[in-house]
Amino acid sequence: MTPIARTSSFESLGSQPARRGEAMPLSRHRCGTSKNNFEQPACPLTTPPSRVAEQDVATPQLDYVIMQIIRRPSETGATEESVQALERELGFPIPWDYRQYLATDNGGEPSPSGFMFETNDGPSDSAVRYFLTLDPGGGSYNIREFRRRYSDRVPQGLMPIACDSFGNLVLIDLRPTSHGTIHFWDHEKESLGDPTWDNVSFVAPSFTAFGQILR
């Protein structure tokens, strides 16, 4: 796939991802201290367009208007070769709508950026600071860098795709039974042992749907 040229350039935001045990600023999202016994849905809503067409159903469209990227870490979209290389590393396919986003925007700061979601403690909210990029020259907001930092901290089958300003993550589910669903990972409720779902909350059924709830 031929990369799509971009005119804006990356400006460092001066913030590094949180490491386990580091002191964190007080989070803006409302979260309590009880366990989140989230049961994730079987919600494979990321059927590739070719499959949808075969079923005589209108192909879902991505809405980039409501997810405008105002600052970019990369001047080009991700190539198909780079996306396939990531899939080989993951052992899972990338959901088609997030794949298209990488090919088009390849990370960056969105506007608007806020979103709400439900936890066992009630409503909560956060805001995307940056969508991660596949561009190796994209600074600290790189998908592979976040995978390295958080590989032993998030449940298996989830991949970081964005972060907020308080050390929390937005994750995409790569597992077949819930492929493409979007989740929020709360570092304040993180287990010091093996990763669990206790600090993970469902946000949206797909990457497209996540873009549509940003406010």
**Would you state the pLDDT for residue 66?**
53
- Check whether 120 has a pLDDT greater than 90: no
**Would you state the pLDDT for residue 107?**
95
- Check whether 67 has a pLDDT greater than 80: no
Average pLDDT of every residue of the chain: 78
- Check whether 7 has a pLDDT greater than 80: no
- Check whether 183 has a pLDDT greater than 70: yes
The predicted model scores a pTM of: 0.72
Q: Which of 158, 156, 126, 161 is nearest to 145 (CA)?
A: 161
Mean pLDDT of 188-205: 94
- Check whether 34 has a pLDDT greater than 60: no
- Check whether 118 has a pLDDT greater than 90: yes
Confidence of residue 74 (pLDDT cuts 50, 70, 90): confident
Alpha-carbon distances of 194 from 90, 141, 151, rounded to whole Å: 19, 25, 11
- Check whether 100 has a pLDDT greater than 90: yes
- Check whether 5 has a pLDDT greater than 50: no
Exposure on the CB side of residue 34, measured as CA atoms within 13 A? 6
Domains of the chain: 62-213 (3.40.1580.10)
Q: In the 8-state DSSP scheme, what is residue 205?
A: S
Contact 106, 8 (CB under 8 A): no
**Would you state the pLDDT for residue 185?**
98
* Cross-sheet strand order for the sheet of 169-173: 130-131, 158-163, 169-173, 182-185, 200-204
**Would you state the pLDDT for residue 145?**
95
Q: What is the spatial distance between Cα 198 and Cα 92, in angstroms, rounded to a whole number? A: 23
Tell me which of 57 and 70 has the higher pLDDT. Answer: 70
Mean pLDDT of 21-31: 38
160: three-class secondary structure by DSSP = strand
122: three-class secondary structure by DSSP = strand
**Would you state the pLDDT for residue 42?**
37
Share of residues in the chain with pLDDT > 90 (%) = 61
Mean pLDDT of 116-132: 96
